Amino acid sequence: MASQSSVAATDDRLTREQTSRAAAEIEAWPEWTPAQNTTAPPARDAFEQKWVRCRVVNADDEPNIIRNMQQGWRPRQVDTVPPAFKPFVRRFGDFGEVIRNQDCILMERPKAMGDKVRAHVAGRNQRLRQSVQEYMGQRMPRQHGSNGGTVEEFEARATVGAGRPARFGGD
């Protein structure tokens, strides 16, 4: 009998009442939705938009803003967003009032311009892959049983963060 009482004392199983109450609490929990400060208003027709970092370690990140502006991005006008996003309007440097989310501002550009930028970057990456392939072909030492100096197939891959594929090439 002593062994049964010691088993009962260390038994961590839940009773039916406890499990049904826990299940009811879980079902009553509201469904998760992203916080408004991490969502952006819907993009305008014929435009694409993104959040662009504007501050790093309590200093304005002007090089990042300039880099994005060179690719056609401009701060989204405050009067183009729904009223629910008006609390995110803040002043930022010479841009005046912008839609701001912590250290980012909402920027947009026409989709047609984005297509041109993506085509340019894809072409540049294609030329880079081709030059690496040619360089390898010219520098590859001859080995027994090989044509030496020819590269029939070349594949380049890059990853960022936790193994997510980076955009490299026209794909």
**Is 24 contained in some domain?**
no
- Among 110, 132, 155, where does a domain finish? 110
**Residue 93 and residue 119 in one domain:** no
Q: Which of 12-21, 32-41, 58-67, 91-100 holds the top average pLDDT?
A: 58-67
**Residue 106 and residue 117 in one domain:** no
User: Kindly report the CA angle at 62 between 61 and 68, in degrees rounded to 5?
Assistant: 100
Provide the pLDDT for residue 35: 67
Domain membership of residue 81 as a residue range: 44-110
Q: What are phi and psi of 68, to 5 degrees?
A: -70, -35
Predicted confidence band of residue 169 (pLDDT cuts 50, 70, 90): very low
**Residue 70 and residue 89 in one domain:** yes
Burial of 41 (0-12, 13-18, 19+ CB in 10 A): middle
Chain segment 24-60, per-residue pLDDT in tens: 777 777 777 766 556 788 999 999 999 999 999 889 8
Q: Which two tokens stand for residue 79?
A: 């009067």
**Residue 48 and residue 92 in one domain:** yes
Asked if residues 130 and 79 have their Cβ atoms less than 8 Å apart, the reply is no
**Is 9 contained in some domain?**
no
Which CA distances in Å does 7 have to 3, 19, 136?
Answer: 6, 21, 70
**Is 27 contained in some domain?**
no
Q: Give per-residue burial for 45-62: e unless 16+ CB within 10 Å, then b.
A: eebbbebbebbeeeeebe
Q: What is the mean pLDDT of residues 19-23?
A: 68
Provide the pLDDT for residue 135: 79
**Residue 94 and residue 129 in one domain:** no
Q: What is the mean pLDDT of residues 105-117?
A: 94
**Is 170 contained in some domain?**
no
Number of compact structural domains in the chain: 2
**Residue 123 and residue 140 in one domain:** yes
Task: Check pLDDT > 50 for residue 171.
Answer: no
How many Å is the Cα radius of gyration of the chain? 28
**Residue 83 and residue 102 in one domain:** yes
Q: What is the DSSP string of 26-63?
A: HHHSPPP---GGG--PPPPTTEEEEEEE-EETTEE-HH
Provide the pLDDT for residue 107: 95
More confident call, 147 vs 53? 53
More confident call, 60 vs 19? 60
- Among 86, 110, 134, where does a domain finish? 110
**Is 30 contained in some domain?**
no
**Residue 49 and residue 93 in one domain:** yes
Distance (Å, rounded) from C-alpha 76 to C-alpha 100? 10
**Residue 62 and residue 87 in one domain:** yes
Which CA distances in Å does 146 have to 16, 138, 140?
Answer: 72, 14, 10
**Is 85 contained in some domain?**
yes
- Among 72, 87, 110, where does a domain finish? 110
Predicted confidence band of residue 76 (pLDDT cuts 50, 70, 90): very high
Q: What is the mean pLDDT of residues 130-157?
A: 68
**Is 10 contained in some domain?**
no
Q: What is the mean pLDDT of residues 16-24?
A: 69
**Is 11 contained in some domain?**
no
Tokens 């502006």 belong to: 69
**Residue 117 and residue 156 in one domain:** yes
